[in-house]
Amino acid sequence: MKTPLKTLEKEQNYYRVPIINSNFFDEAEKLLITKIGSLFFDTIISCKPEFVSSHSRFAKKSLVILLGAQEQHIQSALRLTPLVVHDNPNLKKGFFSKLTKNDCSYLKHLAVGNVSKHFHIFGVTGTKGKTTTAFFLYQILESLGFRPAYVGTLGVLFDGMHVRTLNTTPSLEYILNALLKLRDWGCKSIALECSSIGLDQGRCDGLFFDGAIFTGLGHDHLDYHRTMRSYFTAKLRLFKLCAKSPKRRKTVVFIMNSKWSRMAYLNCPKGLKKLCVYPEKLRIIESDPDQQITASYEKKVFKTNFFFEPFIISAIACVKLLNSVLNSKLDLGSLSSLILPPGRLEKIAPLCFIDYAHTEESIREVLVALKKVINKPVVVVFGCGGDRDKSKRPKMGKVATTLADYVILTSDNPRSEDPAAIIHDIVSGIKKNNYQIEIDRKRAIQKGLKKALELNGIALIAGKGHETVQILRNKTIPFSDKKVCLDFLRQQKCYCGSLDL
């Protein structure tokens, strides 16, 4: 039986960096007192004795670095291995050093690079479309026999296993631990979502990337980055990491959907192959939301299972990237087998879609696509997340009420904020009177579906997509947009099928 991955978390006063078989100690010698050769490498900072003991089979041939640890903890490690570097001047055993946490971080990046060289690693960054694009890469790599794992918003996916993660881009410690386990299980490639915050905080540093996809940039996360320039700069870090990677055939694919994509292309470091995908070259030949879509790109006709044009463009970008890096011979016909990730324009019933759209641009694109393909009245249910970029709230309210036939404003993940105050911010951008407020999200979804039935239209439940919890001020509760929709539709006898959550 395969053991599920476990989330690495801060626990009181220690962090863990997993064990690596490293060939980079010629570099590490500059930071350490003694020459250690090519050994297993485990970094433990302020650890507990039982933590070291639980890894005794590795520690016997490991380098252990303890900073700020109690003497008894250091003694515990010394009983397992003499290769203990510590900062306690009173101990004669081991190696005393004024090694800093920054030095440990450097060693950690060496370790990350060493283990990541065993994989083909593909990063995806951009304001929207990261999850869908990485999920497409995951599926295509699997079809090519590269035994892939996906790491991102949906968690970690590998060989039928699913483990949830706390962030879109997990911590570097988590990624490193995951890579070690995945390597042992025979994984050969990784599709990794690289968020701007994750990149800015160094969560991808040291990884040896084979390539990347830039899906574009829009208004989001300014609560963290403050300015679009800073947000853009954080995204560029992925390309710099690609440039530093020793991998061959390194490639970056740009989806040229805005000025930011053009700027990213121009700011891409030397040494990388640059490819572009142009949305204006896509043509939809035959569109039916209940059947495969026939489309063409650069005069090549193919079929897909999704009608949303940004999804098709992302899939084309995946094909271009993998053909360049892996020298595969994929054509656009390979897109016919791709499916969408959970909660991305997911069709729950003929009259209901759920989607993760949580920015002005995302709401606009999804509404335009739905009205174009389905040609029915659209009712939107959405809110905005608390403790996040407030400047996008009025813009989302304006675009939703402008493009949708009816809007129900509700709570998303309010976190520490008052849901009513969040909705007030949304309303401040609205000029029309085609909306109502229902703070309770469950009741809002039910009202939205009922309104769609009355109008003989469709409902779009936006903002949370695949999520299975709702984050409130003092607690997190189980909550699934999909389950609420299915329960209501069954009560109304509008849907017959198995509940698949």
Whether residue 381 is found in the same domain as residue 248:
no
Whether residue 128 is found in the same domain as residue 96:
no
In the predicted model, is pLDDT for residue 57 greater than 70?
A: no
Task: Report whether 47 contacts 78 (CB < 8 A).
Answer: no
Residue finishing a domain among 302, 337, 372: 337
Whether residue 138 is found in the same domain as residue 284:
yes
178 vs 70 pLDDT, higher one: 178
Distance CA 464, CA 422 (A): 16
Pairing between β-strand 189-193 and β-strand 469-471 as defined by DSSP bridges: unpaired
- Neighbouring C-beta atoms of residue 233, cutoff 10 Å: 15
Q: Is residue 6 part of a domain?
A: no
Q: Is residue 501 part of a domain?
A: no
Q: Is residue 500 part of a domain?
A: no
Structure confidence at residue 28 (pLDDT) = 36
What does the mean pLDDT of the chain come to?
83
In the predicted model, is pLDDT for residue 98 greater than 60?
A: yes
Q: Which residue has the tokens 């694919």?
A: 253
Tens of pLDDT along 122-175? Answer: 999 999 999 999 999 999 999 999 999 999 999 999 999 999 888 999 988 788
DSSP conformation class of 62:
E
Q: Please give the full DSSP string across 392-423, using - where no structure is assigned.
A: GHHHHHHHHHHHSSEEEE--S--TTS-HHHHH
Structure confidence at residue 99 (pLDDT) = 61
Distance CA 359, CA 465 (A): 13
- What's the one-letter identity of residue 425? D
Distance CA 146, CA 138 (A): 9
Would you give the end-to-end CA distance of the chain in angstroms?
24
pTM of the model: 0.79
Helices and strands (DSSP H and E) totals, the chain: 17, 24
Q: Which residue has the tokens 């949830």?
A: 164
CATH of the domain at 387: 3.90.190.20
Distance CA 240, CA 95 (A): 35
CA-based R_g, the chain, Å? 25
Q: Is residue 4 part of a domain?
A: no
In the predicted model, is pLDDT for residue 189 greater than 80?
A: yes
Whether residue 82 is found in the same domain as residue 162:
no
Which two tokens mark 334?
């390979």
Distance CA 303, CA 296 (A): 8
Whether residue 82 is found in the same domain as residue 189:
no
Whether residue 314 is found in the same domain as residue 181:
yes
Tens of pLDDT along 351-408? Answer: 899 999 999 999 999 999 999 888 899 999 999 999 999 999 999 999 999 999 999 9
Whether residue 245 is found in the same domain as residue 161:
yes
Strand partners, 470: 477
Task: Report whether 223 contacts 387 (CB < 8 A).
Answer: yes
Distance CA 391, CA 425 (A): 9
Residue finishing a domain among 337, 371, 404: 337
Whether residue 331 is found in the same domain as residue 193:
yes
CATH of the domain at 265: 3.40.1190.10
Q: Is residue 8 part of a domain?
A: no
Which two tokens mark 431?
């000029």
Going by C-alpha positions, the residue among 234, 253, 251, 233 that lies closest to residue 242 is 251
Angle at the Cα of 391 (from 389 to 397), degrees rounded to 5?
110
174: CB partners within 8 A, 6+ apart: 7, 8, 165
Q: Is residue 5 part of a domain?
A: no
Given pLDDT bands bounded at 50, 70 and 90, which one contains residue 177?
confident
Residue finishing a domain among 46, 79, 111: 111
Q: Is residue 206 part of a domain?
A: yes
Going by C-alpha positions, the residue among 209, 279, 278, 198 that lies closest to residue 231 is 198
Mean pLDDT of 308-337: 96
Indicate the number of domains in the chain: 3
Whether residue 454 is found in the same domain as residue 402:
yes
Q: Is residue 176 part of a domain?
A: yes
Whether residue 309 is found in the same domain as residue 405:
no
The distance from CA 273 to its chain's CA centroid, rounded to whole angstroms, is 24
Structure confidence at residue 394 (pLDDT) = 97
Whether residue 365 is found in the same domain as residue 454:
yes
- What's the one-letter identity of residue 368? V
Whether residue 482 is found in the same domain as residue 414:
yes
The 3-class secondary structure across 141-187, one letter per residue, is HHHCCCCEEEEECCEEEECCEEECCCCCCCCHHHHHHHHHHHHHCCC
Tens of pLDDT along 478-495? Answer: 999 999 999 999 988 765
* DSSP-based three-state secondary structure for 16: strand
Mean pLDDT of 422-447: 98
- What's the one-letter identity of residue 172? L
99 vs 247 pLDDT, higher one: 247
- What's the one-letter identity of residue 29? E
User: What is the H or E stretch that residue 189 is in?
Assistant: strand 189-193
Distance CA 303, CA 295 (A): 6
Q: Which domain, by its residues, includes 461?
A: 346-491
